[in-house]
């Protein structure tokens, strides 16, 4: 049987994680950016990634990080439950918000 796992969130999927790839120093969102600077705009302030932050996983200071991680289930436990739910949905009854 298929085993569900909680996937770790990665920064490269986040739309708020950006990279300044300009050739000279420039002020962006009130912070001085050097060339090849990775920064996050997800919180109230712009945060620049430090050299000791993890390269692949999300750092501990990330405002979008969820502790503990959540697991979302998008399928039913059995075909019988799915058939029952579809019969109720045909009659206009739904238990989902």
State the pTM of this model. 0.59
Q: pLDDT tens-digit profile of 31-84?
A: 899 998 899 988 888 899 998 998 888 888 888 887 776 766 677 778 888 888
For residue 96, what pLDDT is reported? 58
Of residues 12 and 73, more confidence is placed in 12
CA Rg value for the chain: 21
For residue 84, what pLDDT is reported? 82
CB 4 within 8 A of CB 73: yes
For residue 65, what pLDDT is reported? 80
């Amino acid at each position: 049987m298929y085993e569900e796992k909680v996937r770790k969130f990665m920064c490269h999927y986040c739309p708020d994680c950006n990279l300044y790839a300009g050739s000279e120093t420039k002020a962006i969102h009130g912070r001085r950016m050097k060339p090849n600077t990775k920064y996050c705009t997800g919180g109230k302030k712009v945060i620049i990634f430090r050299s000791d932050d993890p390269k692949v996983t999300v750092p501990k200071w990330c405002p979008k990080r969820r502790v503990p991680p959540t697991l979302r289930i998008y399928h039913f436990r059995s075909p019988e439950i799915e058939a029952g739910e579809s019969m109720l949905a045909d009659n206009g009854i739904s238990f989902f918000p």
